[in-house]
Structure 1
Amino acid sequence: MGADTGFRCRRGRGGEAGLPVQALRRDNPVSAPLILGAGPAGCAAAITLAEQGRTPILIDRDVKVGDPLCGGFMSWRTVAALRELGVDPTALGAHRVERLMLFAGDREAQARLPEAAWGLSRHALDTALRARAISLGARLEIDRARSLSSGRIEGERQEWRGDTIFLATGKHDVRGETRPREASDPALGVRVRIPAHPDLSRLIGDAIELHLFDGAYAGIVLQEDGSANVCLALRKSRLSRDGSPLELLRSLADRYPAFAERWRHAPDDLAIDTVGSVPYGWIADGTDPGLYRLGDQAAVIPSLAGEGMGIAIASGRSAAQAFLEGKAAPVWQGEFARRAARPVTVAEAIWKAAETPGLARLGLAAATLIPGLATMAMRASRI
């Protein structure tokens, strides 16, 4: 492991996976901005636009807010940005996080976070953001996008047209705007939610945990209901050794004692969510006129940095403000690419080290000897 990911900063285009879409009806004036995807990035853009008197069309495929695989942890900067948007995670019952715990084999190290962070499910966060956007005047439409082209979204319900489109479909691509997926050994994502248990709360407490494995890593943090959100990132070749996500998780529990302590609280019928071919390290440094690419459609930071939500919120707010100021989408996209380059590059370097056992142990030893090292890395990987 630790080989080149195959991803580079380049002009990005959308993908396949059909997230919801919506737009103005054909007989309406083409004036309202269209936002494809009502997750954190899309809702941040909608709130910012609505606060300035615009009426954005917020499009999503789901009437009921789900609980997406990615997310569950918010840094101090992300929480500050959310509060400026009118959504306070603490009011939603978010779990306070004050420490980073690192595990590699039989070794462990810890560091205080620069400031308090929070664990909160995507269901709770996305529900609150969507409600906030609608309360300010954003119009929510339910449709599933089949394809995306200049000023046009083809949905299952109808065709939507608009001068400006904000693409906020997360890790899912829409046909016509596909991101490159060139890695010979692509990254995959696996998520499980272990039900609340007193022993689990005692083990994890106020920490965000990072468990480093051979060819993979897992982040674990408690959510607002006491459950543990376990997000695993790994190479496709690593999954091939075990055959299935469940067998992989069981294998990791057999080999790594600290992970086994958490995993023993998982029920036999635990639901497992997966996402394939995640282009970690990819940054869109260009776009088409009228198309602002947000969140993971703008930059995909390795999840061990815990800054995916930060990039989503920051990109949504920044792109919406650029639109209000009359800044062209390609100009803004280039600016945001430069802004995202440092945290993504830092996180990618840490990721490559983390998935290589020897480097992971060396990094853990360094973090133990130099307590401020982990804090420096956390600050450097913030947007």
Structure 2
Amino acid sequence: MTDALILGGGLAGGAAAALLARAGKSVHLIERETGPHHKICGEFLSIEAHQHLADLGIDAQALGAVPIDRVRLISGPSQIEAALPFTALGLSRHILDEELLERAQAAGVTLERGVRVLEVAGSTVRTSHGDRVASNVLLATGKLPVREDRQEHREKDADPYVGFKMHYRLSRRAKEQLAGTVQLTLLEGGYAGLQMVEGGRANLCLIVKRSRFSRIGRNWSDMQALLASLPRGGEWLAEAEPLFDKPVTIGNLSYGMASACPSDDPVFRLGDQAGMTASLTGDGMALALRSAFIAAECLLEGKGAADYRERHRAETGLQISRAMALQRVLEQPVLRTMGIGLLRAWPGLLTHLAFATRLTQRRPEPEFGFAG
């Protein structure tokens, strides 16, 4: 029987697979897509995220990652800019996820692509290619829900978010204005993030409440028109060239920690399956990688899923609660106006907020100190 069956080949799944295989465990990873693909993601690697990648032996800048050291916040006519308390990196999931999967395969992981997970029932997983059984099941399917025999899935939020992602080729002027900067534009019921990634591309990731999306018009062209109509934050769109035939989209995004599991639930839930932080903090990729390290450590110590959940909450709960508090403030028009006023008076508060919503740093266990 396989030591670990990992469902999903994103950041959390790929990293956990590589860590466990390099430590001598037999690992089987199932990925629904047949090849490299784009995913809804801000593609912002915070300092914690690229430190985790370095621990995996991955040099993100060698893959083309773009340094980012400033943040620009736009709300209506107001624009506030400040230094980040670290140098972040912009790198697409199209590149990074595949690098992790290649590393996992090189470490001995069995990778099945083009296989859909139909249901998880304890240590047995029903797939489009038959049942798979393992000593430990790690659920790392990101934002995609999976049917489980022990879990009743309900929306955590009565008005969840809808997400969009598009890559663009910017005009020379817009590219120069965005250089080294992550730009966050606040909208009624949501926000948009724009930054450079590898290959001279800009990544736009936009989320908006489902109710607001319905009022706007329920299509991508209306969302682009809304962004372009803003007094600031959307002027670059007029000369931008979209690089996908259509945007990557997803619905029913509910942020915060995942619902509590029964104490005897044997499934390890990684990445967004364990909890989704507010996107505007840019720590989602770091959280996914952190969950992989915690899960691998627990499995190598002979610990079960309940111990993993406890350790995961201890290491990530504070970041997620702070991030969600910030998001709730920005969703309230009066509080948002007050907050923007404070930031205009003291732009350095942006730097402090970026620092306050980081994951705590940690030292990896010795067996996770991999060379490239």
TM-score by length of structure 2 reads 0.90
- Kept in 2, the 8 Å contact 1:71–1:122? The answer is no
Q: Is residue 2:199 matched to residue 1:225?
A: yes
SS of the counterpart of 1:163? strand
What is the distance in 2 between the residues matched to 1:175 and 1:38? 18
1:186: how far off? 1.5
Given residue 311 of structure 2, which amino acid in structure 1 is its aligned partner?
Answer: E
What SS class does the counterpart of residue 85 from structure 2 fall into?
strand
CA contact (8 A) 1:32 1:162 kept: yes
- The answer for the alignment partner of 1:262 in structure 2 is 236
Give, as a single letter, the amino acid of the residue that structure 1 aligns with 2:79: E
The equivalences for 1:339-350 within 5 A come to: 339-350=315-326
Could you say what secondary structure the match of 2:200 adopts?
Answer: coil
Gaps of 5+ in 1: 1-29
In structure 2, C-alpha distance between the alignment counterparts of 1:91 and 1:80, rounded to whole Å: 14
1:290 aligns with 2:266: yes
Is 1:110 matched up with 2:81?
yes
Q: 1:32 to 1:121 in 2, by over 3 A?
A: same
Equivalent position of 1:306 in the other structure: 282
Q: CA deviation at 1:356?
A: 3.3
Distance 1:203 1:224 in 2: 17
Q: In the alignment, is the contact (CA less than 8 A) between 1:315 and 1:336 conserved in 2? A: yes
Choose the corresponding residue for 1:242, options 200, 208, 216: 216
Question: Where do residues 360-379 of structure 1 align in structure 2 (5 Å cutoff)?
Answer: 360-379=336-355
Q: Does residue 181 of the first structure (1) align with residue 150 of the second (2)?
A: no
Unaligned runs of 5+ in 2: 360-372
Could you tell me which residue of structure 2 aligns to residue 141 of structure 1?
112
CA 117–334 in structure 1, closer or farther in 2 if over 3 Å, else same: same
Find the aligned partners of 2:6 and 2:156 in 1 and give their Cα distance. 28
Aligned counterpart, 1:122: 93
* Pairing partner for 2:251 from 250, 273, 276: 276
Partners of 1:296 and 1:184 in 2: CA distance: 19
Q: Corresponding residue for 2:173? A: 199
Secondary structure in structure 1 of the residue aligned to 2:289: helix
> Which residue in the other structure is 1:14 paired with?
none
Q: Does the CA contact (< 8 Å) of 2:170 and 2:241 recur in 1?
A: no
Per-residue deviation, 1:285: 4.4
- Residue type at the aligned position of 1:160: R
Secondary structure of 2:38's partner? Answer: coil
Q: Determine helix, strand or coil for the equivalent of 1:309.
A: helix
RMSD: 1.7
CA contact (8 A) 2:15 2:292 kept: yes
Task: Figure out how many residues of one structure are paired with residues of the other and give that number.
Answer: 353
TM superposition shift of 1:284: 4.6
Q: CA deviation at 1:178?
A: 5.7
Counterpart-to-counterpart distance in 2, 1:75 and 1:250: 30
Residue 300 of structure 2 corresponds to: 324
After superposition, the C-alpha distances for 1:288-332 in whole angstroms (9 at most, x for unaligned) are 543110000001111111111011000011101111101111121
Deviations 1:79-100 (A, max 9, x none): 0110110111100010110001
Counterpart Cα distance in 2 of 1:377 and 1:145: 39
Measure how far apart 1:267 and its partner are: 4.2
- Report the residue type matching 2:171 in the other structure: H
**Residue in structure 2 matched with residue 5 of structure 1 by the alignment:** none
Instruction: Write the letter of the residue equivalent to 2:189.
Output: G
SS at match of 1:164: strand
SS at match of 1:330: helix
Show structure 1 runs of 4+ deviating over 4 A: 267-270
Q: 1:156 aligns with which of 114, 124, 128?
A: 128
Q: Secondary structure at the match of 2:268?
A: strand
Aligned to 1:83: 54
TM-score by length of 1: 0.88
